[in-house]
Amino acid sequence: LLLEYEAEQSQFSDVPQSKQDHESKQGSVPLEAAIPMEQLFSAPAAQYLLSSLGEAPSGEPPDPKKCSPREYLEFYIFPVLLPGLAALLQEAEKEQCLEGKRTTFIPSDFLTEWLYNNNPKRREESFTELFSIPFVKDWLKDHPRPPVPLSLLLSEEEASILIQSFWRGYRVRCNSEIQELRQWQKKLREERHINEVVKKFWAKQEAK
């Protein structure tokens, strides 16, 4: 083998290195174009290539308890998982996930719900929402989720209305007459102990 390798290298020894690099860049082609895909796989593996998305290989399905890991993936996992991933990408595009850094869309939630409802064993059962799936409910009991930030729940229009209303209120409160009124109200509450009066009042109401 070493002699054969040296003989092949000697054929190109007279060609300048720069010329070899230039020709290699100009004449390079993708691997899949130069070599048929069938040759990239061994004969046993080639028969398990999926012909289309979500379609199991032809032939009798193997015993799931005795087949090889590759056979199990090709016959029992990929026919369900690949369409789910395709649906996930479509939903992510619909939710405009690629247009912003923050979004309410959670890919793992969507994929969990999709796979659960498209399980071949549940074909005749009705659609189940994510938070109604039994194992999801059990998980969330021990691992409750934090509330979704308000900034993700509001649309741009709703957020702009809140910001503008807060700014208008701030400008009004900065008015000298409004400041004087607020100081008078504060002093009145302190002198009359209005907070204590309210507490006593409700204590009497609750005692009845």
pLDDT digits over 41-57, tens only? Answer: 333 433 334 445 566 67
Q: How confident is the model over 126-131, as a mean pLDDT?
A: 91
Residues 178-202 as b/e (b if ≥16 CB within 10 A, e otherwise) read eeeeeeeeeeeeeeeeeeeeeeeee
Please check whether residues 170 and 96 belong to one and the same domain: no
**Distance, CA of 113 to CA of 69 (rounded, Å):** 25
Please check whether residues 85 and 138 belong to one and the same domain: yes
Residue 55 is assigned to a structural domain of this protein:
no
Residue 170 is assigned to a structural domain of this protein:
yes
Residue-wise pLDDT for 164-206, tens only, equals 999 999 998 899 998 898 888 888 777 777 777 788 888 888 8
Residue-wise pLDDT for 138-148, tens only, equals 999 999 988 88
Selection from 72, 110, 76, 74 nearest residue 92 by Cα: 110
Number of helical H runs and strand E runs in the chain: 12, 0
**Distance, CA of 190 to CA of 201 (rounded, Å):** 17
**Distance, CA of 103 to CA of 153 (rounded, Å):** 9
Q: How confident is the model over 19-24, as a mean pLDDT?
A: 46
Residue-wise pLDDT for 80-111, tens only, equals 888 899 999 999 988 888 787 778 888 999 99
Exposed / middle / buried, residue 128 (Cβ in 10 Å: 0-12, 13-18, 19+):
middle
Selection from 89, 94, 137 nearest residue 114 by Cα: 89
Residue 78 is assigned to a structural domain of this protein:
yes
Domain of residue 73 covers: 63-145
Please check whether residues 69 and 117 belong to one and the same domain: yes
Please check whether residues 139 and 167 belong to one and the same domain: no
Please check whether residues 87 and 127 belong to one and the same domain: yes
Is the pLDDT higher at 36 or at 54?
Answer: 54
125 φ, ψ (degrees, to nearest 5): -95, 155
Residue 18 is assigned to a structural domain of this protein:
no
Domain tally for the chain? 2
Please check whether residues 178 and 108 belong to one and the same domain: no
Please check whether residues 167 and 107 belong to one and the same domain: no
